């Protein structure tokens, strides 16, 4: 299982490395505007083929590139309802603070849990390799974060249940 | 000679590919898929059908044979295999074999093959 995770992350890193070749490109439709083309989607010739790197049906990453921007959408592994709830809470917590993260999107793309939007301006002000490293670190750590949260919830629930039911003993 | 529709063309290719897979002729199966795909049609369901055929071949090849099959392909064929590997990952439940294909193609051809896969929107 750890082996497929390693190959999954390696494939994503390689794809990001290839797709994160961005340059400044002003909008062709609106004068004096500069929009991330992966979001605007006004000109087909400026968009690249969206690629999906998947580990299984529930764990996948969608990488959509364009001439001046890249969108990375991640589907985090959710094995039960508790995982779904925790992932939802966690992703909302991060997305509400999207301005602090700079490259995080406020809402995830449909079908995914969290999305990043990287533009040419981000690549100009930040190191490209470090951006890729940030996303890879996030993906490697998010599953363990969710597991830790799940254990904490179960532990708290156990304590609460014990304390409550002691009154009836 | 009656014209064959694109769907029939893809279905014929699927049958031929299954025969080659049954005979464990992996090189011939991949090369046959490379000749047939992408289909000359703009319809999404025909492209999806072709993607399914290619995906089934990629899943059928044993893991220890992947490197040998890739070595027998030329550069355009390797690029096509990479494009369909990504396409298959979008629709497959089990992707461990596809990730092995991805790793093997990367090891053989470098990052350029991913750039070529990104640039083609016909698949």
**What are B83's two structure tokens?**
């494009």
Nearest Cα of chain B lies from the Cα of A3 at a distance, in angstroms, of 9
**Tokens 């304590």 sit at which residue?**
A159
Distance from CA of B103 to the nearest CA of A (A): 7
Pairwise CB contact (< 8 Å): A18 & B86 = no
B115 and A17 within 8 Å at the Cβ level: the answer is no
Query: Which tens digits make up the pLDDT trace of A52-102?
Result: 999 998 999 999 999 999 999 999 999 999 999 999 999 999 999 999 999
Query: What's the pLDDT at B7?
Result: 83
Tokens of A144: 């363990």
Range B73-79, long-range pairs (CB < 8 A, 24+ positions) = B73/B30, B73/B31, B73/B34, B75/B109, B76/B34, B77/B30, B77/B31, B77/B34, B78/B105, B78/B108, B78/B109, B78/B113, B79/B109, B79/B113, B79/B116, B79/B117, B79/B120
Is A63 within 8 Å of A19 (Cβ atoms)?
yes
Closest Cα to residue B17, out of A78, A51, A16, B25?
B25
| CA dist., res. A29 & res. A25, Å (int) | 12
Mean pLDDT throughout A12-18? 96
| Chain position carrying tokens 């991330």 | A36
pLDDT digits (tens, 9 = 90+) for A86-100: 999 999 999 999 999
A102: left (phi over 0), alpha (psi -120 to 50) or beta: left
Residue A46 DSSP SS3: helix
pLDDT at A1: 60
Q: What is the pLDDT of residue A93?
A: 95
Compute how many other C-beta atoms are within 10 angstroms of the C-beta atom of residue B64.
Answer: 8
Cβ contact (<8 Å) for B111 and A7? no
pLDDT of B38: 81
A15, B103: Cβ pair inside 8 Å? no
In the numeric block, the tokens 């100009």 are attached to A124
The angle subtended at Cα B120 by Cα A137 and Cα A65, nearest 5°, is: 35
Tell me the pLDDT of chain A averaged across its residues.
95
Mean per-residue pLDDT, A113-142? 96
Rounded-to-integer distance, Cα B104 and Cα A111, Å: 29
The whole-angstrom separation of Cα B110 and Cα B93 is 27
Alpha helices for A20-127 (secondary structure H): 37-40, 81-96, 98-101, 120-125
pLDDT of res. B3: 63
Return the closest-CA partner of residue A77 out of B51, B44, B95. B95
- Walking along chain B (123 residues) 10 residues at a time, the average pLDDT comes out as 74 90 93 86 86 93 94 95 94 89 95 94 79
H or E segment at A114?
strand A114-119
CB < 8 Å to B106, chain A: 11, 14
The predicted model gives A22-47 an average pLDDT of 96
Q: What pLDDT score does B5 carry?
A: 79
Sequence-distant (≥ 6) Cβ neighbours of residue B103 within 8 angstroms: A7, A10, A11
ipTM given for this complex: 0.90
Question: Is the full-model pTM beyond 0.95?
Answer: no
pLDDT value of residue B1:
56
Of B83, B99, B123, the CB nearest to A4: B99
- The residues, any chain, with a CB within 8 Å of residue B47's CB and separated by 6 or more, are B38, B39, B41, B123
Q: How confident is the model at residue A158 (pLDDT cuts 50, 70, 90)?
A: very high
């Amino acid at each position: 299982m750890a082996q497929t995770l390693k190959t999954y992350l390696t494939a994503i890193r390689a794809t990001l490395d290839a797709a994160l070749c961005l340059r400044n490109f002003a909008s062709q439709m609106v004068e004096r505007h500069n929009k991330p083309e992966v979001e605007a989607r006004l000109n087909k010739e400026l968009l690249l083929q969206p690629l999906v790197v998947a580990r299984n049906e529930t764990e996948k990453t969608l990488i959509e590139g364009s001439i001046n921007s890249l969108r990375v959408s991640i589907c985090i592994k959710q094995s039960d309802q508790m995982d779904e709830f925790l992932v939802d809470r966690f992703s909302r917590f991060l997305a509400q603070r999207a301005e602090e993260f700079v490259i995080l999107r406020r809402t995830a793309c449909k079908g995914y849990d969290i999305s990043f939007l990287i533009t040419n301006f981000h690549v100009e002000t930040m190191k490209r390799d470090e951006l890729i490293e940030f996303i890879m670190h996030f993906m490697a750590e998010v599953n363990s974060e969710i597991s830790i949260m799940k254990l904490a919830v179960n532990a708290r629930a156990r304590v609460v249940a014990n304390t409550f039911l002691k009154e009836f003993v | 000679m009656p014209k064959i529709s694109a769907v029939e063309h893809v279905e014929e290719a699927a049958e031929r590919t299954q025969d080659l897979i049954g005979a464990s002729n992996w090189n011939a199966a991949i090369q046959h898929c490379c000749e047939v795909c992408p289909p000359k049609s703009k319809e999404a369901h025909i492209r999806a059908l072709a993607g399914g055929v290619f995906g089934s071949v990629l899943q059928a090849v044993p893991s220890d044979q992947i490197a040998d099959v890739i070595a027998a392909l030329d550069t355009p064929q390797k690029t096509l295999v990479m494009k369909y590997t990504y396409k298959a990952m979008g629709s497959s439940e089990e992707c461990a074999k596809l990730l092995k294909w991805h790793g093997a193609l990367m090891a053989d051809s470098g990052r350029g093959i991913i750039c070529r896969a990104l640039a083609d929107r016909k698949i």
